[in-house]
Amino acid sequence: MKKYEIDPDKDYLVSEVKEKFGLSEATISRYIKDGLFVALKLGQKWLISGESLQSFIASRMSTAKELEKYQEKMYNLTQASKQLGISVRTVFRWTQSGKIRTIRIQNLPYIQEPEIQRIKKSLEKS
């Protein structure tokens, strides 16, 4: 079985999902709580539906395909904060105020390389 081959008719244990996707148990629990994974608790164990795992893969692949449309390097807020040498909180505030322009893909903000360079120059001037 390849890493991301999922049988939609099978239910998977948290340990199997953790191994297949490289997710932590805390992340898997959050995805269950948020409804991203459909799961059933049997005793002490959670069983996650294969169908919801397939939907998860499809959504992640479509995000990657949308990002490929942009030729410039794209940064999420965490990556942008490292590039700019400022906190993620500051990057978030600046995107909210319009100081940093973002592109939204599946409702997540991304910052293009030219915008990172523009902000770096303005930070150097300060």
What is d(CA 20, CA 54) in angstroms, rounded to the nearest whole number?
12
Listed by start position, the domains of the chain span: 11-66, 74-125
Q: Inform me whether the pLDDT recorded for 77 exceeds 70.
A: yes
Half-sphere exposure of 101 (CA within 13 A, CB side): 6
Half-sphere exposure of 66 (CA within 13 A, CB side): 14
Q: Inform me whether the pLDDT recorded for 43 exceeds 60.
A: yes
Average pLDDT over residues 17-27: 88
What local confidence, expressed as pLDDT, does residue 69 receive? 65
What is d(CA 2, CA 4) in angstroms, rounded to the nearest whole number?
6
pLDDT tens digits, one per residue of 58-72:
877 776 666 666 656
* CATH code of the domain occupying 74-125: 1.10.1660.10
Confidence of residue 5 (pLDDT cuts 50, 70, 90): confident
